């Protein structure tokens, strides 16, 4: 599993891709702006009307003013704000902060609404009526219900974990083909999620890697199970590397203490219960590498579940779906089942999922199942046929084909490769179900 241990490092283009994917999935315009309302990303799905308005220097200045005020209003209210811009279209804004500092916003919308749903104007309305060309373009702008726009805001908020990857690397969003503005508008924006961020969350992955406890804690605060699980993989891989029993026990104890420390910060109510379960687990005896991973994941899930009970949300988000897949990598969930769990259409989920993860839904789910198969093959003596069944593959031959397509080896070849590799390191076999193979 070493090849997937480190999360893929994002770059400025990746944030741009997320916004483009969101616009492609919803049909709504998006852009990130600085505190002055000047765009720091490319304009995504902008209407012809808005492009025409912004082509005029005076009207463009009014657009920037609306964007700046919309972001600030969302910051003051602590929630996305739906408002009418100076030209009469409807947008919503999500604030972006760096610690206590407001640094900009994401703007989305550029739609019309029926009169009874139309929000109050944010600024004085521009006098553009009477221009035949602008009136023609305005009439082409789609009419959207307020409910749909608010649902889009909730969906975009659900993507904050993905956008947060770019934040952690302190990437300069202004480098993404900034539109308009001078060099001062192209400075780096350090973005953080609208809520539940801490100083630990804002450190770079390289800095956090020196403190696995903070990595796990930050992942739980972001409600990101996969990142927390991958940190457990790192700790356990090091503990089991040479098959030395004392090192294995020490590594497992260290990981337990890391998870407990995260629980003290995120879910203090369950610390006592969690510690008791960990003691009981250790009293069961020595675990193979696969069993140790399952135990760690179970403990991390307990911490996250309690954290989410203390921070409930009204709607399921795409982050919840990613957590479901991380929690149950053995399940071959279909796109339709996943879409139903979010009350979305399969087509909408498919587009948004690819914009967030960079791969299709099916390939992502299959990748997690193969990832788990590799751990089971390397760490246990479980027969290939049983592993295939455990991971919900309909036939062992199909499992073998999928596994070979991903790794270049059959399951049996992969197991022999892992065994041979481990035996070359200090003469130790891969820790497996046979506990006697661990060296004291």
pLDDT tens, position by position, 322-381: 999 999 999 999 999 999 998 888 888 888 888 778 889 999 999 999 999 999 999 999
The H or E element that residue 277 is part of is helix 271-283
Q: What's the pLDDT at 424?
A: 57
The pLDDT value given to residue 98:
65
Which percentage of the chain shows pLDDT scores above 70?
79
What pLDDT does 100 receive? 61
- Higher pLDDT: 298 or 196? It is 298
- Direct distance between the N- and C-terminal alpha carbons of the chain, in angstroms, rounded to an integer: 25
Place of tokens 């012809």: 48
The average pLDDT across 269-295 equals 93
More confident residue, 127 or 184: 127
Q: What is the DSSP letter of 219?
A: H
Burial class (CB in 10 A: 0-12, 13-18, 19+), 246: exposed
Please give the CATH number for the structural domain made up of 334-426.
1.10.10.60
From its phi and psi, is residue 177 left (phi > 0), alpha (psi between -120 and 50) or beta?
left
pLDDT value of residue 210: 59
Percent of the chain at pLDDT > 90 equals 50
Q: Is the pLDDT of residue 41 over 70?
A: yes
The strand order across the sheet containing 101-111 reads 29-33, 101-111, 90-98, 81-84
Residue 202 confidence (pLDDT): 40
Alpha-carbon distance of 252 to 286, in angstroms, equals: 10
For residue 311, the SS3 value is coil
User: What tokens appear for 63 in the block?
Assistant: 């657009």
How many other C-beta atoms are found inside a 10 Å radius of the C-beta of residue 367? 17
Reduce the DSSP state of residue 96 to 3 states and report it: strand
- Say which range, 148-162, 238-252, 346-360, has the weakest mean pLDDT: 148-162
**Interior/surface letters 323-347, b for 16+ CB within 10 angstroms, e for the rest:** bebbbebeeebebeebbeebebeee
Tokens of 186: 């192209």
- Cα(403)–Cα(398) distance, integer angstroms: 9
Mean pLDDT of the chain: 81
Cα 320 to Cα 312: distance, rounded to the nearest angstrom? 12
Using alpha carbons only, how large is the chain's radius of gyration in Å? 25
For 391-428, the pLDDT digits (tens) are: 999 899 999 999 999 999 999 999 999 888 766 554 43
Residue 415 exposure: Cα atoms within 13 Å on the Cβ side: 16
The whole-number pLDDT of residue 400 equals 96
| pLDDT for res 423 | 63
Quick check: 109 pLDDT over 70?
yes
The tokens describing 422, both together, are 């481990």
Domain 12-167 fold: Beta-Lactamase (3.30.450)
Nearest 5 degrees, angle CA 220-CA 222-CA 227?
65
pTM strictly above 0.75: no
Displacement of CA 32 from its chain's centroid (Å): 18
User: What residues does each domain of the chain span?
Assistant: 12-167, 211-313, 334-426
DSSP 433: S
């Amino acid at each position: 599993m070493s090849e997937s241990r480190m999360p893929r490092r994002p770059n400025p283009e990746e944030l741009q891709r997320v916004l483009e994917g969101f616009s492609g999935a919803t049909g709504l315009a998006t852009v990130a702006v600085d505190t002055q309302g000047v765009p720091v990303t490319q304009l995504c799905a902008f209407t012809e009307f808005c492009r025409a308005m912004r082509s005029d220097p005076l009207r463009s200045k009014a657009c920037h003013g609306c964007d700046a005020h919309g972001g600030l209003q969302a910051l003051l209210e602590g929630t996305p704000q739906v408002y009418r811009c100076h030209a009469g279209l409807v947008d919503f804004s999500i604030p972006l902060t760096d610690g206590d500092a407001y640094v900009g916003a994401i703007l989305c919308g550029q739609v019309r609404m029926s009169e009874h749903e139309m929000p109050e104007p944010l600024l004085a309305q521009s006098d553009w009526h009477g221009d035949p060309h602008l009136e023609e373009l305005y009439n082409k702008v789609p009419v959207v219900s307020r409910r749909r726009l608010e649902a889009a805001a909730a969906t975009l908020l659900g993507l904050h974990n993905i956008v947060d990857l770019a934040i952690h690397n302190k990437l300069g969003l202004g480098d993404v083909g900034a539109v308009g503005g001078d060099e001062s508008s192209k400075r780096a924006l350090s973005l953080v999620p609208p809520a539940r961020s801490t100083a630990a969350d804002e450190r770079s992955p390289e800095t956090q890697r020196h403190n696995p406890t903070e990595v796990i804690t930050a992942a739980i605060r972001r409600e990101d199970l996969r990142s927390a699980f991958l940190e457990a993989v790192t700790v356990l891989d090091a503990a089991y590397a040479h098959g030395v029993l004392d090192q294995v026990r020490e590594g497992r104890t260290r990981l337990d203490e890391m998870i407990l420390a995260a629980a003290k910060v995120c879910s203090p109510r369950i610390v006592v219960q969690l510690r008791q379960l960990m003691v009981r687990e250790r009293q069961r005896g020595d675990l193979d590498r696969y069993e140790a991973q399952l135990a760690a994941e179970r403990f991390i899930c307990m911490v996250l579940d309690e954290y989410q009970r203390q921070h409930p949300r009204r709607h399921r988000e795409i982050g919840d779906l990613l957590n479901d897949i991380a929690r149950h990598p053995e399940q071959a969930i279909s796109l339709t089942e996943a879409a139903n769990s979010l009350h979305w259409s399969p087509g909408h989920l498919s587009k948004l999922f690819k914009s967030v993860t960079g791969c299709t839904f099916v390939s992502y789910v299959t990748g997690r199942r193969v990832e788990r198969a590799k751990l089971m093959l390397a760490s246990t003596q479980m027969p290939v046929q049983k592993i295939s069944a455990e991971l919900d593959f309909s036939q062992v031959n199909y499992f073998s084909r999928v596994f070979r397509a991903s790794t270049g080896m059959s399951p049996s070849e992969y197991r022999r490769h892992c065994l041979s590799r481990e035996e070359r390191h200090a003469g130790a076999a891969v820790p497996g179900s046979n506990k006697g193979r661990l060296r004291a």
